[in-house]
Amino acid sequence: MNLYPNFSFQIIQKSHKSEARCGLLNTPHGVVETPNFIFCGTKASIKNLTPRDFANEGTQIILANTYHLMLNGGADLMEKHGGIHKLMGWNGPILTDSGGFQVFSFGYGTVANEIKGRRDGGKNNRPSMIFKIAEEGVTFRSYVDGAKKIITPEISIETQRKIGADLILVFDECTPFHVEKDYTENSMHLSHRWGKRSFDYFVAKNDFRQALYGIVQGGVYEDLRKTSVNFVNNEDFFGIAVGGSLGQNKSQMHDITASTMSHVNRTRPVHLLGIGGFADIIHGVECGIDTFDCVHPTRIARHGCAIVRPNILNKFSKTVPLKQNNEFISLKNNIFKEFDGPIDDDCQCYTCKNFSTAYIHYLIKANENLFMSLLSIHNIHQMNKLMKSIRNDIHQHGDLQETKKAWLMDF
């Protein structure tokens, strides 16, 4: 029986030099051209933007976080008032995560950093908010009202049904990088049992409005990743998400992604959870990843930063040495007071067409929130431009050389 009659994934072009492919991900709320980037609308809002703003900059799909919507009453509100698409005023595809990543990320404090290969020496450690991880599920303290809560695979899927996104995820345990292999292995098996329970609950309640992704765990251990991929391949999930810790640095992350992807069923759409750097996306696409998500583009906008390609970074660096992070600039820097032009002359976003860096710098200094909207618009436009460049490259050349030349500093 086809569990997903209203969904399909067609691969329309394959690279002859890598595993990169272009596809069409069809959902009841429209088509996503892949590879693509999914922007984070954590609590059912892309912070500081209306759907008109992010649609105008080329966005095709967004996501919301089940953990927040479960705790802040959002899920119940959506069930009562016709679902997330209607409430948000966004009629395009939406994905929700299962709440697994965030319950553990809030619980352990440093999971998010470790997954991305950043270790901060425990500076951002918060006290654990998890009471117990058991076969049934996870009990934890709500950050909203301090109440004791439980999340199980069934509660996660039920909450995602109430929210009503198109693509939904199984509930899993997200382990931090620093745990031993034994822990990672036991946790992976627990995630598989939770994955199976998520699937069974999904099938029992399936009304064909949603499609379920399984999640590959296994941490940094190749053999565990292979076991986990086999589990996900063998269940009737619509798509596959790669989750968990991918290592403590970029090179380990790339190795783990490549070895994991070498086992993945190539007919399904594959999502890489929580990864959004240019080099990581390009490498992921070459391994066969179809979609990515990360809070980075909109989060750094709220801190006054604009995503830029290396040529723009180099242009500004000639005047004043900027902190070299390769992918964005901080418009808080006083040098921008003097720049009359846009962030990027070649950028066709609403912000670059209408505003100068000097004005955005001024807004930041004056504490005017408009800068957050303007920079979010620019950053979303840039990420969509990167993904479009990747798709064009695959279609036209079969490799990503042009994209690499334009987007990678050391290429």
Q: Which residues bind Zn ion (CB under 5 A)?
A: 347, 349, 351-352, 378
Nearest-approach distance from CB 329 to Zn ion, in angstroms: 12
Helix count and strand count (H, E) for the chain: 17, 16
DSSP strands (E only) in 128-201: 130-133, 138-141, 148-151, 167-169
Contact 220, 247 (CB under 8 A): yes
Nearest-approach distance from CB 121 to Zn ion, in angstroms: 35
Nearer to Zn ion, 113 or 311 (CB): 311
What are the angstrom distances between the C-alpha of 142 and each of 69, 145, 146, 284?
A: 12, 6, 5, 34
Q: Which two tokens stand for residue 352?
A: 């670059």
Edge-first strand listing for the sheet containing 30-34: 8-14, 21-27, 30-34
Nearest-approach distance from CB 344 to Zn ion, in angstroms: 5
- Angle at which helix 222-234 crosses helix 250-261, to 10 degrees, equals 40
Nearest to 85 by CA among 28, 16, 169: 28
Nearer to Zn ion, 135 or 340 (CB): 340
Q: Which two tokens stand for residue 120?
A: 């901060």
Work out whether the CA dihedral 280, 282, 288, 293 comes out positive or negative. positive
Residue type, 283: H
Q: Which two tokens stand for residue 163?
A: 């929210």
Residue 97 appears among annotated catalytic residues: yes
Nearer to Zn ion, 351 or 376 (CB): 351
Nearer to Zn ion, 149 or 378 (CB): 378
Catalytic residue among 172, 293, 344, 393: 293
Q: Which two tokens stand for residue 314?
A: 């180099």
Catalytic residue among 97, 280, 290, 344: 97
Nearer to Zn ion, 253 or 377 (CB): 377
Torsion of CA 351, 355, 361, 366, to 10 degrees: -100
Nearest-approach distance from CB 322 to Zn ion, in angstroms: 18
Nearer to Zn ion, 178 or 302 (CB): 302
What are φ and ψ of residue 110, in 5° steps?
Answer: -115, 10
Work out whether the CA dihedral 384, 389, 392, 398 comes out positive or negative. negative
Q: Which two tokens stand for residue 115?
A: 């997954």
Nearer to Zn ion, 279 or 347 (CB): 347
- Helix, strand, or coil here: 8? strand
Residue type, 44: A
Nearer to Zn ion, 223 or 345 (CB): 345
Q: Which two tokens stand for residue 166?
A: 């198109």
What are the angstrom distances between the C-alpha of 350 and each of 56, 76, 316, 376?
A: 8, 35, 21, 11
Nearest-approach distance from CB 330 to Zn ion, in angstroms: 16
Q: Which two tokens stand for residue 278?
A: 């240019």
Residue 207 appears among annotated catalytic residues: no
Nearest-approach distance from CB 328 to Zn ion, in angstroms: 12
Q: How far apart are CA 261 and CA 259, in angstroms?
A: 5
Q: How distant is the alpha carbon of residue 341 from its chain centre? A: 31
* Residue numbers annotated as active site: 97, 293
